[in-house]
Amino acid sequence: MSEAFYVTTPIYYVNAEPHIGHTYTTVVADMLARYHRLKGETCFMLTGTDEHGDKILEVAQERGTTPDAVATEYAQLFKKTWDQLGIDYDRFIRTTDPDHRLVVQSILQKVYDAGEIEFKEYEGLYCVGCERFLTDRDMVDGLCRDHERAPESRSESNYFFNMGAHFSWLAETIEAHPDFIRPEHYRNEVLAMLSEESGLGGELCISRPKERLDWGIELPFDNRYVCYVWFDALINYLTGVGYPDGSEFETFWPVSEHIIGKDILKPHGVFWPCMLHAIGAPLPRHLNVHGFWNLDNRKVSKSLGNLVSPQVMDERYGFEAFRYFLLREMVFGQDSSFSEPLLIARINADLANNLGNLVSRTLNMTGRFADGLVPRAGAPGEAELVIEETAARVTSEVDEHVLSLRPQRALESIMGLIDATNRYLELREPWKAAKDPERADQVPTTLYTCCESLRVTAVLLSAFLPQTSHEIFSRLGLGNALEGAFLPELTRWGGLEAGLPTRKGPPLFPRIEVTEDSK
């Protein structure tokens, strides 16, 4: 039996359309799933939508419609967007799905029966955007840190989960498994939240009275209340793989990887582990936390109204180019800036001038000097061995970087192989050697080396740029080159057969000319 891999995105809240933040998280998860499949592992990718709570009711009231209509509209939009952009998920989950409702209610009952939920009066400052009560550390100048709006003062009776009873266990677990939360500085943030000085508090409000909010999953032990949206939403990771007794749950939960943005670190780093411990379920293997995309020095978010639409980027530049920019530009865990001039510069430098140029030159000369067929290589010389060794080194580096959540470093390594092959082509000068009787016999070996380097490059790029990878395979006469084989075999040097028909094709990534609109 092959190894397994389970990767999740957050389920996205359905009160606005997808933006660059959602897209980055989803693309990282998609890249990881594709890469682990390439390694021969059994993989499952889960994404979806979070559909209950105050914000959905708020949007519905503004539009004069129902919360269910709003949730369905945006859920369909998210699903359609990921489908159009080629995201290869295994399940798109909605928190209104019947199986999810049953799982949430069963977990609520289990925690209630264990005596970890109590009913009490609470008063505090509530942020509708966060769907929770805030502490002083959640605010700046009286406003919610994330949503830049003033919280409301609320007082009501609700049910509370005693998550504080699990704080000591959680802190000890994080200390004993330092790579559980990565990168490291987010682990330190969670440990700080668990300290007595943080003011976090050990009680998590897990209900909302129906008289105020009836859009949610009803508590199994009190039909006057619905479940708090965060308690409901986090459980989707279990529902998605058949908790509690499905075969998929046994296979995938022990190898689960959560990909989240840093704005939801507290629910995932504190609430969720405590909930899992309360029901006796193991923690996910890793909680992977990335930074914000900033536009004009402000976080990109729907609540702030400064969105960058993946559909618009697809229409202007093609989604593969935008996907490359996201994975190449952001250091995972740190904030990064988006602008169209930065995007264009990255496309032109890496994809048009570097990768696209190598594909074009190699296949153009294969057409001219080898009748469009992959030539048969002669004995390799020192220069050829350098490319072969570079390909082997880069393959190893990519594996290390992907498994360590460093996609930008992995792409940097792949671009290094492309750079080396371009330099090799300049060194060998097949356009001149073909006319020189003393060097003409070198040309087949030169062209084979470049074609084989492109094949290995396309294998390594397949998790990052799947459509581009497929196009390179097609131009090399390979068709579906990934079918029936996995990484070690696919990246072994010499795998390209001589005699395959090649085609040059149009520019892989046409160079983009900077206009006033894109400055």
Task: Return the structure tokens found at 512.
Answer: 């983009």
Among 144, 227, 274, 451, the one annotated catalytic:
144
109-118, 158-167, 290-299, 361-370 — which is least confidently predicted? 290-299
Does residue 205 have an active-site annotation? Answer: no
- Any residues with CB less than 8 A from the CB of 32 and at least 6 apart, and which? 5, 7, 257, 259, 402, 463
Predicted TM-score (pTM) of the model is: 0.92
Average pLDDT of the residues in 337-359: 96
- CB contact at 8 A, 111 and 94: no
Centroid of chain to Cα 467: 17
Is 302 a known active-site residue? yes
Question: Which residue in 52, 302, 401, 470 is the catalytic one?
Answer: 302
Among candidate residues 299, 401, 451, 470, the one labeled active-site is 299
**pLDDT above 50: residue 118:** yes
Supply the pLDDT for residue 220: 98
- Give the whole-angstrom CA distance, residue 359 versus residue 349: 14
Q: Which two tokens stand for residue 453?
A: 């380097």
Domains of the chain, earliest start first: 4-307 (3.40.50.620), 340-490 (1.10.730.10)
* Mean pLDDT for the stretch of residues 494-516: 92
Question: Do the Cβ atoms of 448 and 377 come closer than 8 Å?
Answer: yes
Non-local CB neighbours of 466 within 8 Å, separated by 6+ positions: 34, 86, 88
Annotated catalytic residue: which of 43, 127, 227, 450?
Answer: 127
Cβ-contact 390, 420 below 8 angstroms = yes
Q: Tokens 């029966």 — which residue?
A: 113
Determine the pLDDT at residue 299.
63
User: For residue 223, what pLDDT band results from cuts at 50, 70 and 90?
Assistant: very high
Annotated active-site residue 144? The verdict is: yes
Q: What are the residues facing 46 on neighbouring strands?
A: 8, 91
Q: Are 2 and 249 in contact (CB under 8 A)?
A: no
Strand-pairing partners, residue 5, are: 43
- Residues 301, 21 contacting (CB under 8 angstroms): yes
Percent of the chain with pLDDT over 70: 96
